[in-house]
Structure formats: C-alpha cells, structure tokens
Structure 1
Amino acid sequence: MNGKEYVQSVLEIVKSRNEGEKEFHDAVTEVLKSLVPVFDKHPEFIEAGLLERFIEPERQIIFRVPWVDDAGIVNVNRGFRVQFNSAIGPYKGGLRLHPSVNISIIKFLGFEQILKNSLTGLPIGGGKGGSDFNPKGKSNNEVMRFCQSFMAELYRHIGLDTDIPAGDIGVGGREIGFMYGYYKKLAGANDQGVLTGKGLSYGGSLARTEATGYGLVYFTEEMLKDNGNSFKGKTVVVSGSGNVAIYATKKATELGAKVVALSDSNGYIYDKNGINIDVVKDIKEVKRGRIKEYLEKVPTAQYVEGCRKIWEVKCDIALPCATQGEIDKQSAEILVKNGTMAVSEGANMPSSLEAIEVFQSNGLLFGPAKAANAGGVACSSLEMSQNSMRLSWTFEEVDEKLQLIMKNIYKNSSEAAKEYDQEKNILVGANIAGFMKVANAMMLQGIV
C-alpha cells in the first residue's frame, strides 16, 4: 500500500466513524492529504497503523452542565473535553463557550491542536473543550454559576501533568478566574499551572493576553521577509475584534502597517486613516460592546452590515481572526482579484479548503492557523513553566521567547516543505513538521 492509498483508506474510516461531523472531516482531510509523501518515505508508519491511532482521540468526555440564571430558571448546557493526543506531553488546548459548539467542532480544534502544539517545540499534547453556553448578555453571576457547574465535572479530568485547559472564544480572564477558583476549592490544592490565561495576581503570565495576536504578526513578518517583503507600508484587513484581532492590529501597526478594517458578528468598520486600537479596546475589553460603536468616537469611519463583506475591502495582507470558515471560495477570489499578497490565519481554520486552494493556485503567501496562531498556546506553556518554577518573567522576556518560537515555527515549516519538494507551501510544511515529531514519539512508545 502506498501513501495515497493509505491516506484514502484512513479518510474513509474517519467519515464512516464520525458521520455528520463536517468540521472534523475537513480538518483531517486537509492534514492527511498533505502527509501522503511522508508515508511513501516512511512505510513503517503504515505498518504500525499510525494514522488509525492519530485520527482517533485518546478520550472524549461529554457531560451536562446545569446552572440557574438570575430569574431562578434552571438551564442545562452540554460540556465537552476531547483529550486527543498525549505522545509528546500532557493535553493542552482551550475551552470555547459559544452556541455553535458541538463534538465535531471540538474534535476539529483538538486535532489541529496536536500539530499546533508540536510546532511550538514545547512538550505539550493536543486537546480541546468547551460548551454550547453563550456568555454574551449574561450577568457576571450567571457566568460564574455556569463556570462553577462546568468545572464541577471537568476538574475530574484535568491536572498539572494530565490536561491543562486555557481560554478560547467566549473564555477570557473572567471565565478562567471563575473556573480556577472553583477548581481550587474542589481539588483542595493551589495548582496554579492547571489552567492558563490566569490573572496576573494569581499566576498569570505577562504578554499572555497579547500572545496570539503578536505571534500571528511575528510569524507573518517572517513569511514576508522570506519572500523579500515586510509589513511596512502595507494595508491590512483584520477580521474579528476580540483578543487576537486587537493585538494583531496593534503589532502590525507598530511594524509600519495600516490596519483599515475590523469586524464582529454583526458587521465591520472601515477607517481609511487606520484603526484607532485604543478606541476598539475600550469598546470590546471594557464595555463589551459592538464594533459599530467605533463610529461614536471616530465619526469619519464607516460601518457596513454583514461581517463576511469585510473581505471586499482592498488590502495587501489579510489576517482572518474571527472564527472557523469565515473565508469561503468566493471571498478568497475577491481577495485575489483585489491584489492581496498574503493571508495569515489568526483564528482556527478560518479559510475553507476551497479558499485555501484559491490562495495557493494564485500564488498568495498563506500562513495556516496551526502555525500562524500558535503564539497563544506557546505563551500558555511559558505560563506553565513560570508556575512550576514559582517565578514570573518580565513582559520583555516572555515576548522575546515568543518571537523566537514563532520564527522557529516558520523556519521548521519552511524547511519541511522544501524537504518534500513543496517549497513555499507553508501549509504542507507545517503539517509535516508538526506530524513528524508526534509520529516519532508514537512509534517509540508502542501501540497505545
């Protein structure tokens, strides 16, 4: 059996065993098809049934989360934790709170997390979790009651050397604080490293808030430099207006770019003079408001209903930082038509498989999420290190380590692409580089 036949046979297993899980199917398909030459070069992986184990989570946990709202009404949500692969270290991955959350999305995120964590070079495996609870519009007490109920079950399955969750969409410092407080009460131990993204007063790391957005820009700058370019003087469109988008905007601006658009789920703002990130931070981080409110402080800006229309704005560099599947084939074709030179993913799998094909067939530089947005989990791992050593590094120390990690991710992805005759294809390079480390560890540990 050659590599192509092996991959195809495993993809058929994935689709038949995980019926209806489109997000998971897409994530696995994108990765496995790029690994075909690996299996041609390493037939021992086929003999060991490596892929059959790689695509099956080590453990899937689904549980109910009952909580009482401020009106005294009982609500029941569904909680998830998928512990996907621990070959190179304890499971590590965020918790997502959003109405769209289901087992397919959590599995796709957990699968991507295996490779993302491997690419950082740090000893962390892949996992992901969350709930279909929506924190938007809820009071602090409602969020707290949900988080405590969620942790009442999750705490049984996590630990310093077992599984270390972090934040994701809908889970910021507030939610992590509520979860950690209840974990500490249940576990009877001050295990600070069991959750990352904590507040600075109880074990959090400086630069963690900025890490995913900054890391995205550091990675993209390396990709641009390798192709004789940079952010300086470029027009940039960033989708989203959450943590990743805000700090990607800030860092890109510092490097000389002009970010002209940001969005939320309702629509997008366009500011030809460049987004005032301080105004956005006040709206989103302090007031928890909508991006449309930007016009109250900057009346010369424009607001357009419909967040997907943001890709119609002409730009040199596109940084999708909102959510999965936000760039479809049509949006990708618009970006190409408008002369965009690079797309780098700050969200998890924001570009559809068809969109990625459009980018690559038209020669755009493409930074895949598993490589480009790995700065968040990298800094989470640095937070774990600080907790273990009972010390805190300065912002500059963490930022320096983050820059080095992102440069190495690009370097390793680029070198892997060249080794397999896929020069400039950073998506294939990232998949191969991330996979090889996990694959070698799995081979050494036997059939488990």
Structure 2
Amino acid sequence: MTEIPPRTQARDANEIEFMQAVSNVMSSVKPVLDQTPEYRHHGIVERIVEPERIITFRVPWLDDGGRVRVNRGFRIEMNSAIGPYKGGLRFHPSVNQSILKFLAFEHVFKNALTTLPMGGGAGGSDFDPKGKSNDEVMRFCQSFMAELFRHIGANTDVPEGDIGVGSREIGYLFGMYRKLDNRFAGVLTGKGLNWGGSLIRPEAAGLGCVYFAAQMMARRNDTLEGKTCLVSGSGNVAQATVRKLIELGAKVVAMSDSSGHIYDEEGIDAEKLAFIQRLKNIRRGRIGEYTEKYSHASFTAADPAQEENPLWRHRVQCVFPCATQNEINKADAYRLINNNVKMICEGASMPCTEEAQEIFIDKGLLYAPGKAANAGGVAVSGLELTQNSIRLSWLGEEVEQRLKIIMKGIHDTCLSAAEAYGHPGNYLVGANIAGFVKVADAMLDQGVI
C-alpha cells in the first residue's frame, strides 16, 4: 500500500510528475511508518509531501528586437528541517509547478543522504535559453533575479544550476543578486572559480554517479573496466559521466540531446569527448554534428511519437540515463533487459518510470535511483558553501576525495537501510527509507510547524 495522504491525492492528482515522485518514496516507507507510530501521530507524511512555500512570479524581459516577452518564474521551498533549501533552477519550456515540486521533493531526500545540512527546493522558468543571444539571456536572468532575490540567501535558500542553467546563467543571476543585495555571499552554487566557485562542481554529479556505479560493481566483485556503456544526455552530468567512465577503462558508445542520439561503435574517447564539450558548451550546437566530424558514427533523430526511444536499443552492459525525467519507460526497460544490460545507474532525476524501476528490480539488475547516484552534484554544492563560509578554496583533488567518501557513504547507507527493513540489495528502497527517516526525525524534534 502506498502511503499517499488522501488530501494530497485529491488536490495534486493533476501534477503527474510530483505524484510519481511522492508514490516512489511513499511506496517504500510503509514498514518505517508501521514501526514508528510517532510519524503517523505527528502527521509527518502529510507535512513532508506539502511544500513549506511556493513562490510564483512573472518575468518580463526585452528581446533583441525590443519586444517585451513574459515568462513565469517559480521557487518551491519544500523542506528545511535539516538545513537551508537547496536545489536547482531549471530553464526549459516544459517547466511547470508539477515538475518543480517533483524536483524539490527528490532533493529533500537526496540532500539528506549526503549527510550535509541541506533541505530541499527547486525552481526555474518556462524560459528557453536555446536560440537566445547572450544579451537576451542576461536580461531574462536579471529580471528573474529581481524577484527571486527576496526569497533566497546563504542561510535560507541556495539555488544551483539544472537543465538550461549553466555557468553563463549562474553568472548573470549572481551578478544581479550582488547588485540588489549589496553583499557577496554564497547564495548560489556553481559559481565561477574566480568568484567563489568550487573545483569539480560542474562535473560532480557525473563523477559521483560513476563512483556510485563502481561501488555497486565492486559489491559483485566486478569493475567498470571493459564494460560497454550508454550515456543519455550531453550536458555537464553526461559529459562528466563519460569522462570518468573512460578513465576507468569503460567504453561509451552513445550520447544524446533532445534532437536525437549518436552511436559510435568504436567508442567515444577523450578526443571525441573534447569535441562534444566544445560543441555543447561553447557553440551550443546539436549532438548530430558529431557525425560530421566522425563520419563512421551514426545519428538517429528523436521521434516523440514512438513509444520506445531508439537510444535504448543498443546492446550494452551498463546504462547511465543522464538527461531528464521519465526517459526510460516500460517498453524501453524490456528492450534493455532483452539486450542483457547488467546495470542502470541514474545520473538524472527520476529518469525511469515506476514501471521501469519495478522491471529492473524484479529482474535482479543493479539499479541505482537518482536520489542516491546523482547526489554528487548537490554534495559538492554543499562543499562549495563550506568553502564560501571559511573563505578558502580547496584543491580539486581534495574536493574529489571528499566526493568519493560521500558517495561511498550514500551507497553503504542505502544498503544498510534496505537490509534493516527486509529488502537486501534494493538501492531504491534503501535510499527512500534512509532519506525519509533522517528528515522525519528532524521534523519530530522541531515540533508541529
């Protein structure tokens, strides 16, 4: 039985992504609620699924033609029981309240797993930075921050980047915050290295994902060396995932963006990855241009009308979905199973539908949910805040070593929680329970607020 409060089901039934995220967690925690009646008595479930605060605002801005454009801005402050709200800003046409509530809800438990004192939040806008000039993006970011600055702060709510919000956008947002608040504070993470950022922050989610995968493989006396891998996406997370897989001796044969995916049977090596990084980070081009440079590779255009994504048809041993939510559905999962995939390690937030998750777990595959496997990004964001507070910058090697320790700790915590509640080896259940218990206990300690 899924422990979703009836009022939440009635009020939020139209918020599909949010209800999926709630169901994912609450389906795991019934044994916890049964063993700890205080959680039910004090309304923990009813409170934990309801955001502490939802902020919605308009964002007017001028395009290069002098026309006024208007987008909608959001910030979901979900839960601050263990620390300031922490979570990304997403700029994408698909952004709505449901998607941001799901992301904020996921961050509550993901951040708890890092052991760092961070609550959960998320925000963004339906603004699309693709095809916009730098000046247009700057004007939008300045207008967005002109409202958001009232609600954030280094000890209140600390946003970071997500889809559509990279170093360029963080720079414009931080500059406007500094102008409005007249303080140089760690109010955003993912900042530039010469103005408060942390080494390896852009790569942290991808690096952490691979470290988590390596821990899972080691538990079965195996490694990633020699494994053929598929990575979806081509942003920061995907790029760092590919880089670390190459370093560990794996062979990555595919990457993607919203236009489609490339397949390179020879493998994407360091030189090819550098080309993709220039293509995506500097030229902001489409992944299909890879085949113009490397003619032996193939490109398959995305077709939203298809039930199955052709990206998941390739025969590989390890899959790293690093693009967006629900990119692997039931049909895709069965395709991967039929191709003898051994491991799925999520680099994105909720990239597998609930049906796909159940299939992977039922078949005994190594399956790591994003709230555990991609927690490296927010973990290093927390380390960036620490460096800002003490006015020091750690060496990249030190930050990465701390990240490795955190990811091993998350891995072991998930296994321990799963074992304690009768689901040995189930990383999904373990992650949900471990994150829930930490936040729920903090809420109990602080009373009914």
User: TM-score range, shorter-chain basis?
Assistant: over 0.9
Per-residue displacement from partner, 1:104-154 (whole Å, max 9, x unpaired)?
000000000000000000000000000000000000000000000000000
- Residue 242 of structure 1 aligns with which residue? 235
Root mean square deviation, CA, Å: 0.9
The equivalences for 1:42-81 within 5 A come to 42-81=36-75
8 Å Cα contact 2:5/2:45 also seen in 1:
no
8 Å Cα contact 1:238/1:319 also seen in 2:
yes
SS where residue 203 of structure 2 aligns?
helix
8 Å Cα contact 1:283/1:290 also seen in 2:
yes
- Residue 360 of structure 1 aligns with which residue? 361
8 Å Cα contact 1:143/1:175 also seen in 2:
yes
Q: For 2:166 and 2:55, locate their aligned partners in 1 and report how far apart those are by CA, in whole Å.
A: 22
- Residue 312 of structure 2 aligns with which residue? 311
8 Å Cα contact 2:232/2:320 also seen in 1:
yes
> Unmatched 5+ residue regions in structure 1?
none
User: How much does 1:304 deviate?
Assistant: 1.2
- Residue 216 of structure 1 aligns with which residue? 209
- Residue 228 of structure 1 aligns with which residue? 221
Which residue type is aligned with residue 285 of structure 1?
N
Q: For 2:342 and 2:421, locate their aligned partners in 1 and report how far apart those are by CA, in whole Å.
A: 24
SS where residue 209 of structure 1 aligns?
coil
In the superposition, the TM-score normalised over structure 2's length comes to: 0.97
Which residue type is aligned with residue 298 of structure 1?
Y
The equivalences for 1:95-114 within 5 A come to 95-114=89-108
Per-residue displacement from partner, 1:139-191 (whole Å, max 9, x unpaired)?
00000000000000000000111000000000000000000000000001111
In the superposition, the TM-score normalised over structure 1's length comes to: 0.97
Q: For 2:176 and 2:275, locate their aligned partners in 1 and report how far apart those are by CA, in whole Å.
A: 34
Q: For 2:130 and 2:197, locate their aligned partners in 1 and report how far apart those are by CA, in whole Å.
A: 24
Task: Point out 4+ residue stretches in structure 1 off by more than 4 angstroms.
Answer: none
Query: Which residue of 255, 264, 267 corresponds with 2:260?
Result: 267
The equivalences for 1:240-389 within 5 A come to 240-275=233-268, 276-306=272-302, 308-389=309-390
8 Å Cα contact 1:93/1:129 also seen in 2:
yes
Which residue type is aligned with residue 166 of structure 1?
E
Per-residue displacement from partner, 1:256-292 (whole Å, max 9, x unpaired)?
1000000111111111111121111111112111111
8 Å Cα contact 1:11/1:29 also seen in 2:
no
Per-residue displacement from partner, 1:23-60 (whole Å, max 9, x unpaired)?
00000001001001001110111111110111000000
Which residue type is aligned with residue 281 of structure 1?
Q
Query: Which residue of 109, 118, 124 corresponds with 1:124?
Result: 118
8 Å Cα contact 2:5/2:46 also seen in 1:
no
SS where residue 347 of structure 1 aligns?
coil
SS where residue 243 of structure 2 aligns?
helix
Q: For 1:428 and 1:19, locate their aligned partners in 2 and report how far apart those are by CA, in whole Å.
A: 24
- Residue 396 of structure 1 aligns with which residue? 397
Per-residue displacement from partner, 1:317-341 (whole Å, max 9, x unpaired)?
0000010010000000000000000
Q: For 2:92 and 2:162, locate their aligned partners in 1 and report how far apart those are by CA, in whole Å.
A: 10
> Unmatched 5+ residue regions in structure 2?
304-308
User: How much does 1:13 deviate?
Assistant: 2.1
Aligned length: 441
- Residue 409 of structure 1 aligns with which residue? 410
Q: For 1:203 and 1:112, locate their aligned partners in 2 and report how far apart those are by CA, in whole Å.
A: 26
1:19 partnered with 2:13: yes
